[in-house]
Amino acid sequence: KNEVEQSPQNLTAQEGEFITINCSYSVGISALHWLQQHPGGGIVSLFMLSSGKKKHGRLIATINIQEKHSSLHITASHPRDSAVYICAVRSHGAQKLVFGQGTRLTINP
């Protein structure tokens, strides 16, 4: 069983729709990261969470430590949001990040 599972694997939506990407993990963590990978391959950090909720522009990330679950929401989605969104966790006492397989998001105009 993978330590980090994301759903859905692929998501296609129309511009303006509200997007939710989910991440479940199986280990105790010190932090969870949401990352964005562009078509060229570069990876950008969106959020680092250890509890609660964070918001940046149209992006919102939440985490429920008890349920070992996190969600990334995008409001008023735009074609430029099209990318692969990756959840990654850091276990207690570890330095490495363990990555999910990513969610490929396509926003059509």
Shortest reach from residue 60's CB to other proteins, in Å: 17
Inter-residue contact 35 to 70 (CB < 8 Å): no
HSE on the CB side for 66, CA within 13 Å?
0
Of residues 13 and 48, the one with the C-beta less far from other proteins:
48
Q: Does residue number 100 form part of the binding site for other proteins (CB under 8 A)? A: yes
* Alpha carbon 8 to chain centroid, angstroms: 11
Pairing of strands 19-25, 4-7: antiparallel
- Bridge partners, 29 (sequence order): 91
Contact pattern from residue 11 through residue 50 relative to other proteins, giving x for each residue in contact according to CB under 8 A and a dash for the rest: -------------------xx-x-x----xxxxxx--x-x
Is the CB of 80 or the CB of 96 nearer to other proteins?
A: 96
Binding site for other proteins (CB under 8 A): 30-31, 33, 35, 40-45, 48, 50, 86, 88, 90, 94-102
